Every structure is written in structure tokens, then in C-alpha cells.
């Protein structure tokens, strides 16, 4: 495995950052999770736009133009030779002092990891997932806007712990008003009477790249899609429910807080969207070739 750090490549065991890096000390940084399908990087530009917007929002200047970052991502994929892979692109604040002051960090760190990922076994996609609502609320937008994809994921991890302790693999998180926001690592959708519903961005939702792709696919299929205010009741009475995320892709949900969704199996609309998403991801994206610029190790 070849890992990119600040313009150089290292083997996995040799890839290191300073223990004084504020990404490690305080979760001070931003990241993206990106997929590669059939030697194509899916929606790289959209991911990079969100990365740079997240950096700007936290006053973190990424020391590389977006075009250069795109080439670095593609070159790292080339070097690892995986036609289907997961990319973790991380930008930390860099090494500084032990205090909170981020302006002691002179050089942000850019890290690109390319590896395989499988969040759920195949039977989850075939048979569906059970989820529960947890007590841990989504971060308040006034304190840490969920649209910033930051390295500080403790909020999500605590919710994930609650889900696992409840005997399921994923959790629905509410916002400070008790309204549905999203899951620990995925956006959530519900189909009701032919209308596809998902919590609006104002509910404390990360504007997911996969979320946007699914909305696009659904509208191309003439499915009415609405981003609205949603409560748990909307998911209890839904005909179908599913989750979306770059790592998870589209995951059907068959039970919410002990309530069976629809017929208790992945529904036809969900399956149709899964098939369409599979086709889209294998046909669209930045192509990865075996010929790229040579970077020093």
C-alpha cells in the first residue's frame, strides 16, 4: 500500500505524522471519503469542492490548488493498483504546540489513503438493515456545523456505540429539536405513497455526495423527491427506508425502532435505485490510467 503524505509516498508501516499534529490532538482538520469503481474516481470534483469548503469554513487553508489535489488523488489510486477502492483524503491543521491556538500550526498535512472497504456484509444489502434512534443528538449547527466534514467524529462515534449496544449496526440521530437529521455515517431516505423524502440540509445534515446522486437518479426515474422536516413517525409509517453514503452506498432498512418497514424486506423502489446507482458509479467518473507523473518517495 502506498500512502501519500505531503507530496511523497510511503509504505503503510512507514506513513507517519507528528504527535503534535492538531488533527490528532484536537480533531482539527477535514476529510473526504471517495470511491473508485472500475478504475474511475466517482464524483471527485464534488468531493474536492466540499473538502475545500470545509477547510475554508474552519479557517484551514489547503496548501494545494484543487486541480493539483485531483491529480494527487488519481496518482495515489494509480500507484495502489486497485480498480475498486475507497479513498480517504485527510487535511489536518498540522503540527503545533499543545495549546488550542491553531495559528501555531505552520504546515497543514495532506494525507491520501487508498484501500478496500466493506462496511456491511452482502446479506445486509440483500435482506436489509435494522436501525434505532439514539439519545446522542447530532451536533448543533451553532457549535459545529454538520456540513463541515471534520475530523472530530466523536459525536457520531458515541451514537454508533449506542447502536451497537442496542444490538444493531446503525443509528438515527435527531437534532436539538428532536427532528430526524441523519445516521452516524449516512444520510437517510423514506418512501411514502410514491414520494421520496429526506431531511433537509437545515436539519443538521451533511450534504452527501451519494445523497445528491440518489436524488438525481430518482428524479430521472420520475420519482418525486422532497427535502423536508421529518420526525421518527415519518420513518415508522414509511413504505421503504434506506441509507446512503460513499462507503455504504445504498443500504435498505427493514426495521426502525422495532417497527417493520413495509413488508419487512428491501422494497422495489430501493432495489431499483440500488441497481441504477451501481450502473452510474461504473460509468461515470475521472478515469484512472497506469501512466501518471512520477512522485518522489
Give residue-wise pLDDT tens across range 37-94: 999 999 999 999 999 999 999 999 999 999 999 999 999 999 999 999 999 999 999 9
Q: Are residues 208 and 151 in the same domain?
A: yes
Span 208-237, mean pLDDT?
98
Element (H, E) at 269: helix 268-281
pLDDT band per the 50, 70, 90 thresholds, residue 292: very low
What is the rounded average pLDDT for all residues in the chain?
Answer: 95
Residue 240 in any domain: the answer is yes
Residue 294 in any domain: the answer is no
Domain of residue 9 covers 2-117
Cell 470534483 sits on residue: 45
Q: Are residues 168 and 188 in the same domain?
A: yes
Q: Are residues 261 and 141 in the same domain?
A: yes
Residue 262 has pLDDT above 50, yes or no: yes
Which residue, 101, 117, 133, sits at the end of a domain? 117
Radius of gyration of the chain (CA): 20
Residues above pLDDT 90, as percent of the chain: 90
Task: Report the range of poorest mean pLDDT among 111-125, 191-205, 207-221, 283-297.
Answer: 283-297
Residue 290 has pLDDT above 50, yes or no: no
Could you tell me the pTM of the whole model?
Answer: 0.93
Span 195-216, mean pLDDT?
96
Residue 99 has pLDDT above 90, yes or no: yes
Q: Are residues 92 and 166 in the same domain?
A: no
Count Cβ atoms within 10 A of the Cβ of residue 98 and give its class: 0-12 exposed, 13-18 middle, 19 or more buried: exposed
Q: Are residues 130 and 100 in the same domain?
A: no
Cell 422532497 sits on residue: 226
Q: What is the pLDDT of residue 87?
A: 98
pLDDT band per the 50, 70, 90 thresholds, residue 143: confident
Q: Are residues 13 and 156 in the same domain?
A: no
**Beta-carbon-side half-sphere exposure of residue 267 (alpha carbons within 13 Å):** 22
Q: Are residues 51 and 86 in the same domain?
A: yes
CATH of residue 235's domain is: 3.20.10.10
Which residue, 99, 117, 135, sits at the end of a domain? 117
Strand blocks (E) in 80-147? 85-92, 109-115, 129-133
CATH of residue 47's domain is: 3.30.470.10
Residue 34 in any domain: the answer is yes
Span 216-238, mean pLDDT?
98
Residue 264 in any domain: the answer is yes
Under a CB-based contact definition with an 8 Å cutoff, are residues 168 and 77 in contact?
no
Q: Are residues 78 and 207 in the same domain?
A: no
Residue 288 in any domain: the answer is no
Q: What is the pLDDT of residue 1?
A: 87
Residue 293 has pLDDT above 50, yes or no: no
Q: What is the pLDDT of residue 296?
A: 39
Active site residues: 149
Structural domains of the chain, count:
2
Amino acid at each position: 500500500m502506498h500512502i501519500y503524505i505531503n507530496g511523497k509516498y510511503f509504505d503503510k508501516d512507514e506513513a507517519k505524522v507528528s504527535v503534535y499534529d492538531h488533527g490528532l490532538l484536537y480533531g482539527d482538520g477535514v476529510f473526504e471519503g471517495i470511491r473508485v469503481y472500475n478504475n474511475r474516481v466517482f464524483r471527485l470534483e464534488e468531493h474536492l469542492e466540499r473538502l475545500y469548503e470545509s477547510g475554508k469554513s474552519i479557517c484551514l487553508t489547503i496548501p494545494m490548488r484543487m486541480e493539483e489535489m485531483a491529480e494527487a488523488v488519481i496518482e495515489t489510486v494509480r500507484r495502489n493498483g486497485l480498480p475498486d477502492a475507497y479513498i480517504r483524503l485527510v487535511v489536518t491543521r498540522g503540527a503545533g504546540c499543545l495549546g488550542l491556538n491553531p495559528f501555531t500550526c505552520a504546515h497543514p498535512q495532506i494525507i491520501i489513503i487508498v484501500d478496500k472497504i466493506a462496511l456491511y456484509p452482502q446479506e445486509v444489502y440483500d435482506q436489509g438493515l435494522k436501525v434505532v434512534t439514539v439519545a446522542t443528538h447530532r451536533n448543533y449547527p451553532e457549535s459545529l456545523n454538520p456540513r463541515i466534514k471534520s475530523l472530530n467524529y466523536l459525536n457520531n462515534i458515541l451514537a454508533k456505540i449506542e447502536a451497537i449496544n442496542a444490538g444493531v449496526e446503525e443509528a438515527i440521530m435527531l437534532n436539538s429539536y428532536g427532528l430526524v437529521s441523519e445516521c452516524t455515517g449516512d444520510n437517510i431516505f423514506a418512501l411514502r405513497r410514491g414520494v421520496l423524502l429526506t431531511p433537509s440540509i437545515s436539519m443538521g445534515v451533511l450534504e452527501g455526495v451519494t445523497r445528491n446522486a440518489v436524488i438525481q437518479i430518482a428524479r430521472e426515474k420520475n420519482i418525486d423527491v422532497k427535502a423536508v422536516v421529518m420526525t421518527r413517525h415519518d420513518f415508522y409509517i414509511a413504505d421503504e427506508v434506506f441509507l446512503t453514503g460513499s462507503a455504504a452506498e445504498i443500504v435498505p432498512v427493514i426495521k426502525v425502532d422495532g417497527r417493520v418497514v413495509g413488508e419487512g424486506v428491501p422494497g422495489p423502489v430501493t432495489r431499483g435505485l440500488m441497481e441504477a446507482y451501481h450502473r452510474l458509479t461504473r460509468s461515470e467518473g475521472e478515469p484512472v490510467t497506469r501512466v501518471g507523473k512520477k512522485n518522489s518517495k
